[in-house]
Each structure stands twice: as C-alpha cells, then as structure tokens.
Amino acid sequence: MEISAQLVKQLRDRTGAGMMECKKALTAANGDLTEAEVVLRKQGIASAAKKSTRTTKQGVIGSYIHAGSQIGVMVEVNCESDFVARTDDFQELVKDLAMQVAATDPQFVRREEVTQEVLDKEKEIARARAIADGKPEKILDKIVEGRMAKYYEEVCLLEQPFIKENTTTIAELIKHKIAKLGENISVARFARFKVGDTAPTEEITE
C-alpha cells in the first residue's frame, strides 16, 4: 500500500525514529500507526531515538588503511561509557564507519554541517540543470528538492547507504547499535587521506 508522507511524519513525531525507518515500519504494519510503533519498539529503534539526546564523552578514534595504502581514514566515534567503547560491537561499528568514509568520500558528518554558501550553490546548479532539461517552471522547486536530497545522500556520512547493506543508511546503522548497546552513539568527525590529494608545493632549492 501507499504510505503517505503525513503518516510517516505522525509516526516520527510519536517515536523520534528516522523517516526511512518509519516508512519501513508503516509498510510492515500496512499503514497502522499503532502497529508500526510496535514494530519500531521491537527493533529497539524507538528507544534508540530517545537516547539520541544523551551526552557522549567517551569513545574511540578508529583508523582504516585501504589495500595498496593509497587511502587512509581516521574517525572519532563517541558513546557514553568506556565500557561500551571497548565492546566488540562498538569497535565493529567504528571500523565500518572508517571503511565507509574510505569508500564513499563524504564531505560532512550530517546535513546540518553543510554551509549555506554550499547549499545555495548546489541549489543554483540543480535549478540550472532542470531548466536546461526543459522542465516546466511550476515543477522546478520540486525537482531541486529531489536533487538536493540526493546531494545530501552523496556528501553527508549519516545519510549515505551503508556499503555492506545499501538498504540501510549509516544513521540507521548507528541507531541499531544504540538499541543493542543501550547508549547513545555519535560520530564526532573524520578525516580522509588520499595519496596525491594534497596541493602541490614548490620544491625548495638552494
């Protein structure tokens, strides 16, 4: 059945779960809000969303060097306690996130970090492309909105499909770990290094 955006929003407001998670739960529950909430609770996602405001001051800095040693990544992932930071599940998550950054080269952790200047430029490009494609004026805003959603998916780590399971986003992957480990988890920052990416410098000669 068709799941409306309004129904997804209602479930999100009730549970705090992500849009895609809410849509999947509603689909599984045939559009029944109460049953969809039960689906989310069984998965631990509803409780994970409630933990997302808790402070994360522990964690680890993980690293990953791709085969051939041409690409390297460092990522800081935080949680609430040193105990959870040492668990195999948390360590696995950190490794997966580092591999994700190596493979997809995101520019930001989350969409809130994208500067207004960058957003304005991308919207301008998206609109210009739509006009060049001959799209009607009345649907330009809708097209730009769709292309910006795709842009966020490309450049924001949390919105990317997980490389090991592309039906799951990185944000959803983290929420599942929160549900399993019982603590809030957040990605603080990452750095990706690729051989040859540095700006050329002048050779110093005597």
Q: Quote the CA–CA distance of 99 and 58 in Å, as a whole number.
A: 21
Query: 176 and 106, same structural domain?
Result: yes
pLDDT at 204: 47
For 41, the domain range is 5-51
Q: Total structural domains in the chain?
A: 3
Computed over every residue of the chain, the mean pLDDT equals 85
Is 205 a domain residue?
no
DSSP string, 96-130: HHHHHHHHH--SBSSGGGS-HHHHHHHHHHHHHHH
Is 199 a domain residue?
no
Query: 45 and 71, same structural domain?
Result: no
pLDDT at 206: 44
CATH number of domain containing 20: 1.10.8.10
Is 201 a domain residue?
no
Q: Quote the CA–CA distance of 45 and 181 in Å, as a whole number.
A: 12
Q: Which residues in the chain land under pLDDT 70?
A: 1, 16, 18, 44-55, 199-206
Q: Answer yes or no: are the C-beta atoms of 23 and 3 closer than 8 Å.
A: yes
Q: Answer yes or no: are the C-beta atoms of 20 and 5 closer than 8 Å.
A: no
CATH number of domain containing 88: 3.30.479.20
Q: What is the pLDDT of residues 138-176, one digit of tens each?
A: 888 888 888 888 899 999 999 999 999 988 899 989 988
Query: 132 and 32, same structural domain?
Result: no
Query: 183 and 83, same structural domain?
Result: yes
